[in-house]
Amino acid sequence: MKRSTVVLAACLLAAGSAAALLPHAMAAAQGCRVDYTVSSQWQGGFQAGVKVTNLGDPVSGWTLAFSFPNTGQKLTQGWNATWSQSGSTVTAASLEWNRSLGTGASVDLGFTGSWSGANPVPTAFTLNGVACTGTPVTTTTTTTTTTGNPPVGRTPVEINGQLRVCGVNLCNQYNRPIQLRGMSTHGIQWFDKCYNSASLDALANDWKADLLRIAMYVQEQGYETNPSGFTSRVNSLVDMAEARGLYAIIDFHTLTPGDPNYNLDRAKTFFSQVASRNAAKKNVIYEIANEPNGVSWAGIKSYAEQVIPVIRAADPDAVVLVGTRGWSSLGVSDGSNESEIVNNPVNATNIMYTFHFYAASHKDNYRSTVSRAATRLPLFVSEFGTVSATGGGAYDQSSSTAWLDLLDQLKISYANWTYSDADESSAALRPGTCNGSTYTGSGVLTESGAFVKNRISTADNFPTS
């Protein structure tokens, strides 16, 4: 993947330099400073980050304004502010949660845009009408191309070893924050034929993924119909992932009914068995409730505090993922937010909270919540789709790109729904693929699958010191 970064502290540029496709840094105005970063760019589109630092008196409510130098540049969507464009002028107004900006405080914004002809950066910024002329920051403009993931002969599990939660991050055996990227199965009761030696070889070697999420539905013809059979199949997929150096998320896929306490006894039985069996493995992560819905955070917390000790009794070291309210939306889909978790966290250590999104349905307000929550809570996106929340509809490239760029920036791990040939637009494989034996190459991929594979297969560059 090629990534070009431009950092600027706002001010006027010479007219000639403003015409560059990836321009150099500029200096910004007294009272505030703006660092503008082109984080990714493709033909006809780009994504930018905008960091605003208040160098003047504290403000309660703010509006950032700038003008695009090229009439062919258009704002398409933004996050962490209310964005709008009139002519060439773009404005970003504060939201309720980030309206207060003290002296020296910063706020990170971002947006995606389209362009034609050229894509020069803006040349001047104002905050509440005052031009930014703050102290210039160091300019760096880099373009790098990376290939290969992981290093030859070394797998994600070999490099990172036993994972743990440190602060708000997922960390490896060197206590360094990492991001895992991979795929989720569909329900193994329906698509079990998709998960064989050839398909997992492709995931590890062609996709260069780091993890496989094993979605074991509890209802919907799943675990409750044959507990021993589904437990055995989950364990075999853990082994197959381990053999390829992939991390495996054991997903207790509760969906209907949405209150995980309905399956409390089943969860205790299942996790007691899989944790005892897999305790010595370094590649296992436990996800105890897929998408709680129609249930309060207090109910979810109570469930977690009864299931986690069952896992810990057998496997004291593994990371545990805890589902959140509103289909694992941190409560946003129920009209709430992460504050209920921040104020009343699960009484357990080495845990992370899950967030799920579907890019065509969940946009700015969901991204704003993740940006804010990631400073207080360890988050793991154990499921996301590039389409609508139904699993169908059109693939939304713009929103999907914005989401994955945000997760990359925050080092939040993710698994895409789904590594399957289901007849739905969220599936990565074309219908009928799992009836054959070929899982590599672009010919087997859907539009969504090609996009996600391109993102996953770029180098991880896991830190080891």
Which residues belong to the active site? 291, 383
Q: What is the DSSP letter of 218?
A: S
Place of tokens 């930018």: 48
Kindly give the interhelix angle for 397-410 and 447-456, rounded to the nearest 10 degrees.
20
**Number of CB atoms found within 10 A of residue 199's CB:** 25
d(CA 257, CA 261): 9
Q: How far apart are CA 428 and CA 199, in angstroms?
A: 12
Residue 265 neighbours by CB under 8 Å, 6+ apart: none
Per the DSSP assignment, residues forming a β-bridge with 194 are none
Rounded Cα distance, 127 and 438, in Å: 55
Q: Please, which residues have CB within 8 angstroms of residue 72's CB and are 6 or more apart in sequence?
A: 115, 116, 117, 118
CA within 13 Å, CB half, 121: 33
What H or E segment, with its residue span, contains residue 284?
strand 284-287
**What's the token pair of residue 160?**
């990172």
How far is residue 391's CA from residue 433's CA, in Å, rounded to a whole number?
19
